[in-house]
Amino acid sequence: MSSTSVQSAEDDAPETGVIKRVLLVDDSRVQRRILSLSLKRDGYDVIEAASGMEALEICREDPPDLILSDWMMPGMTGIDFCVAFRQLQTETYGYFILLTSKSEKTEVAQGFDAGADDFLTKPVNGYELRARISAAERILRMQRELKDKNKVITDTLDELQRLYDSLDNDLLAAKKLQQSLVPERYRTFDGAAVSLLLQSSGHVGGDLVGHYKISDTRIGLYAIDVSGHGISSALITARLAGHLSATSPEHNVAMQVLPDGTHQPLPPAEVVARLNEIILDEMETEHYFTMLLADVDLKTGKVIMAQAGHPHPLVQRADGTIEQDGPGGLPVGLIPGAEFSQFDIQLAPGDRLFLLSDGVTECPDTGTGMLGEEGLETMMADLKDHDLENTLQALVWKLDEFSGGKGFPDDVSGILLEYQGD
């Protein structure tokens, strides 16, 4: 390469950018000197190496941005050096240009296979050298911009993962708290026994079941399904659990405190109406909920019930006969001043009363259908001889089998009361 060919292109020298350090590798000191002077005038920090081995040691200690390497060198050739350079673990990509007099396509392909990015034919033309460096500059700039963006994405994903882990831990804690709203899953009374089921489709859900004492011979049962899923629905269930407290009758909206300090139960329909006012006036939420509220007389077997948009109660008689009926009614929290009706069910010893959420009847099958009320009757017939304490869990297993193991898209909850009578 002649010094004239390089110097004639000085006025068109590229602006330095991502390429700062250039490594010149050539066994000819003269060739290195000519190229080095030209590149230094263009503002590059130039390092020289007389052999591939020397250049490789330099790259190990401080990799350059750009390498200009002669192909034909004694010992380690430019091809061998390029292969060894690509095997180094470097933080940034180094652009590799081979200087060669070879122009055969097979030889050019050999250079690309070794990891070279570009070629310059000797003797080197100054204009072409700068054009090749400008191309390298664009490629390296895009590569480093992409690397920076990938780092931002990686950092963002790491932060999102930390937030997710934190949220997941909070949700697990919330699940435990929500499950604690139903501390007694099975309880016996004088004349009846009650079993409860509460299974959320996610960490937390919008279903709630429970019971409370009305008197020595009466208990209240409630099954609630708040609209939506997740944290906001779960918070509503927590509020409702407080309004139907089993431990603090004075805080239970189903009980009226009399002047003498005693408590008197309110009719189920009136209780639902009070809850309708509370959710509309006090909670300031767009959520609403469906509900079944029952007042069970443990001596007579009479059940007074209010239904507010919840699935019909299911009665399984002692002989296996199944009944599903109810007025339906409006959900709670939709219309101010809404009126709710109530109806009676008479239980005989050995009868079972089920209050189940729509997550049961709307459980999907393996196709596009749902269980429905007829499917539920068939399933309940198969569960007739299960013991009371495990019947609801057996129902969950059957639902899982019915859905083909796909899980439940909605919360599944329920109450099973078996009336035993005197």
pLDDT in tens, 110-153: 889 999 999 988 888 888 889 999 999 999 989 888 888 998 99
pLDDT the model gives residue 271: 96
Q: Which amino acid is at 104?
A: E
Domains observed in the chain: 3-149 (3.40.50.2300), 180-419 (3.60.40.10)
Q: What Å distances lie between residue 168 and 11, 171, 202, 231, 409, CA to CA?
A: 62, 5, 11, 12, 19
Span 227-238, pLDDT tens digits = 987 788 888 888
pLDDT the model gives residue 290: 96
Order the strands of the 66-70 sheet from edge to edge. Answer: 45-49, 21-25, 66-70, 95-100, 118-121
Helix (H, G, I), strand (E, B) or coil at 298: coil
- Number of C-beta neighbours around residue 308 at 10 A: 28
Q: Which amino acid is at 219?
A: I
pLDDT the model gives residue 191: 93
pLDDT the model gives residue 246: 82
pLDDT the model gives residue 174: 66
Cβ–Cβ < 8 Å for 416, 354? yes
Q: Which two tokens stand for residue 22?
A: 């250039």
- C-alpha 134 chain-centroid distance: 45
Residues of the chain with pLDDT under 70: 1-16, 103, 171, 174-175, 178-179, 181, 183
Q: Which amino acid is at 141?
A: R
Q: What Å distances lie between residue 409 and 155, 343, 399, CA to CA?
A: 33, 31, 12
